[in-house]
Amino acid sequence: MIKVSGLTKDYGARRALDKLSFDAQQGEIVGFLGPNGAGKTTTMRILTGYMPPTDGTAIVAGYDVVEESIEVRKRVGYLPETVPLYTDMAVFDYLKFMGELRHIPNVDDRVDEVLEMVGLLERADGYIGNLSKGMRQRVGLAQALLHRPEVLILDEPTIGLDPGQVVEVRELIREIGKERTVLLSTHILNEAQNICDRVLIINKGKIITEDTTENLQARLIGGERVMLRVRGESDELAATLKQIKGVQSVEIQEEGAVEFSFASGKDMRPEVAKQVIKAGYDLLELRPVGMSLEEIFLELTGADNKK
Ligand SMILES: Nc1ncnc2c1ncn2[C@@H]1O[C@H](COP(=O)(O)OP(=O)(O)OP(=O)(O)O)[C@@H](O)[C@H]1O
Ligand SMILES: [Mg+2]
């Protein structure tokens, strides 16, 4: 369980967090989605007891992060943004050392278990310094899981991982999230949608919106956006599209490629395909496009963000 209220953090004159409030329950995976400098890492450092807030309170696993930070640390697994690892230690030895610091019983078995979970059992005896970036990230994740923490705080857990590992780590997080509380940060909307039950969008130290991933998708997109690619001229193609009833906001992307949208619940793709072919084009591609994080911020913050 995480409960944050009115959390504020100033770094000198710069306000990094501005009265942030949210909570996360057991069995819930909450995503922190926001651009560079939004305040994600700052919040996570406060929640793990590594740094005090300037104002406001945070309760993690039932303890106050300022007053009872030792109790908090016992119950929290933290994957920091940059994982501090001892490069001249073997993977197994490092995790065993971390496990001993945490007084974990049967530490050897537990280290094997977490290495298995993150797919690093084969590299157990190798030096951390010889691991690739993605593998080091997984050692960091193993370290965060070691003491079976009630709350997991993961700062960009899939950054630097190859696509296969991204899928595996996401599955692992989903599994862990069934019984624990997970807060993870990401820049990637798709990632938030893939793993999280609920998403908090944060920008400039404030939560702009909070919703389930499904609702968020529906709210933000409001309609479907589709990319159409043909062999032929974009100007003419755009003109053809504009004549089709139900097609909105046609935008030329590049030669032969145009994006358009339509109100959700009324899939215009079959009609568009028919009309485009009837007009004599070779249809090459017709696919839905998601909104980028930038577009979502503009949508949510309006003129405020368009500097
Ligand atoms: N140690 C620090 N000293 C001064 N300012 C800091 C410090 N750490 C962060 N900041 C500032 O606080 C703001 C929030 O930074 P934070 O690292 O929390 O963002 P973030 O959302 O994690 O960004 P990113 O996606 O780039 O990791 C930024 O304006 C940043 O410059
Ligand atoms: Mg960060």
pLDDT value at residue 88: 92
Work out the pLDDT band at 248, boundaries 50, 70, 90.
confident
- Ligand 1 site-directed mutation target among 8, 10, 41, most atoms within 8 Å of CB: 41
- Ligand 1 site-directed mutation target among 14, 47, 158, most atoms within 8 Å of CB: 14
pLDDT value at residue 305: 43
Phi, psi of 213, rounded to the nearest 5 degrees: -60, -40
Tokens standing for residue 44: 């996570």
Contact 64, 1 (CB under 8 A): no
pLDDT digits (tens, 9 = 90+) for 17-47: 999 999 999 999 999 988 889 999 999 999 9
Work out the pLDDT band at 172, boundaries 50, 70, 90.
confident
Ligand lying closest to the C-alpha of residue 11: 1
71-75, 167-171, 211-215, 232-236: least confidently modelled range: 211-215
State in Å: Cα 81 to ligand 1 middle.
11
pLDDT value at residue 168: 84
How far is residue 178 from each of residues 152, 182, 307, measured CA to CA in Å? 12, 9, 41
Give the mean pLDDT of the chain: 89
State in Å: Cα 145 to ligand 1 middle.
25
Ligand lying closest to the C-alpha of residue 206: 1
What gap in Å lies between CA 168 and CA 117, rounded to an integer?
Answer: 9
Q: Spell out the SS3 assignment of the chain.
A: CEEEEEEEEEECCEEEEEEEEEEECCCEEEEEECCCCCCHHHHHHHHCCCCCCCEEEEEECCEECCCCHHHHHHHEEEECCCCCCCCCCEHHHHHHHHHHHCCCCCHHHHHHHHHHHCCCHHHCCCEHHHCCHHHHHHHHHHHHHCCCCCEEEEECCCCCCCHHHHHHHHHHHHHHHCCCEEEEEECCHHHHHHHCCEEEEEECCEEEEEEEHHHHHHHHHCEEEEEEEEECCHHHHHHHHHCCCCCEEEEEEECCEEEEEEECCCCCHHHHHHHHHHCCCEEEEEEECCCCHHHHHHHHHHHHHCC
State in Å: Cα 155 to ligand 2 middle.
7
For residue 306, pLDDT beyond 50: no
pLDDT value at residue 290: 65
pLDDT digits (tens, 9 = 90+) for 249-299: 899 988 889 998 887 667 888 999 999 999 999 999 998 776 655 666 666
State in Å: Cα 53 to ligand 1 middle.
14
| The 223-231 sheet, strands edge to edge | 248-254, 257-263, 223-231, 282-288
Please state the rounded mean pLDDT for residues 84-90. 87
State in Å: Cα 207 to ligand 2 middle.
15
Pick the CATH number of 2-218 from 3.30.70.890, 3.30.460.10, 3.40.50.300, 3.60.20.30: 3.40.50.300
pLDDT value at residue 65: 97
Q: Tell me the CATH number for domain 222-297.
A: 3.30.70.100
Ligand 1 pocket, CB under 6 A: 11, 14, 16, 34, 36-42, 81, 187
Query: Looking at ligand 1, which residue's alpha carbon is closest to its atom 7?
Result: 11
Which residues hold their Cβ within 5 A of ligand 2, which is an ion?
Answer: 40-41, 81
State in Å: Cα 17 to ligand 2 middle.
13
Where do the domains of the chain lie?
A: 2-218, 222-297
